[in-house]
Amino acid sequence: MTDSSTAPTVKRRRRPRRNEADLRKLILNAAKEEFRLHGYEGARTKAIADRAAVSESLLFRYFGPKADLLEAVTLSPFTALIQSFYDRYGSSGSLEDHRRNTRLFVEELTHYLRENRMLIARALQPDVRGKASAGATVLHDYFVQSVGFVSRLQPLFKRGGDADIDLTVRVGFGMVVASVLFSDWLFEEEPDPQALNKALVHYLDRSVVP
């Protein structure tokens, strides 16, 4: 018989402490998967918390109700995409830079829209969208920054039209978004992504530097 007083002590391994950024990322990834599998209506915050290995109360503390979590899931990659756009265009100084940056932005934006098409459509529904959407704030900042970039580019190339720059930027962005989100309305068959991107870049390039 073994003397319990001499039995080796088994130490329980403690889970590494996770910081807030890591926890937020875990929750967002779990939410995206739950929304993908079950849709917005079918997804449950408890299931999302379980998938992320966090408490439901922590989920609510970081993101609030499910509608806000859906917005965060769709907004987080979009915000990163826009920041990448700022970084590239902030140092753009030639026609070649502009065309390369436009191509990269269109490729990244259309990829984001295709990957998140259903979630974006659901996030825009009146019962989910708030009056002061965080997405609207990001878009507003994007439009302001883009107008500044375009205003700087046109005199640089000594070319330009008489179209309103702010409207040009907004219409150009809307064209890219609509070509993906409303593709079933616009096209009889889903267009080849590369061919569509090429057409979009052509129109955007000519609208900025006609």
Contacts by 184-191, CB closer than 8 A, 24 or more apart = none
Inform me whether the pLDDT recorded for 131 exceeds 50: no
> How much is the pTM?
0.76
Domains with residue ranges and CATH for the chain = 18-64 (1.10.10.60), 66-208 (1.10.357.10)
pLDDT of residue 69: 92
Question: For 158-187, what is the HEC assignment?
Answer: CCCCCCCHHHHHHHHHHHHHHHHHCHHHHC
Question: For 3-29, what is the HEC assignment?
Answer: CCCCCCCCCCCCCCCCCHHHHHHHHHH
Q: What is the pLDDT of residues 98-113, one digit of tens each?
A: 788 889 999 999 999 9
- CA angle 193/196/199 to nearest 5° reads 150
Give kind and range of the element (H or E) at residue 134. helix 134-156
Which 8-state DSSP code applies to residue 76?
A: H
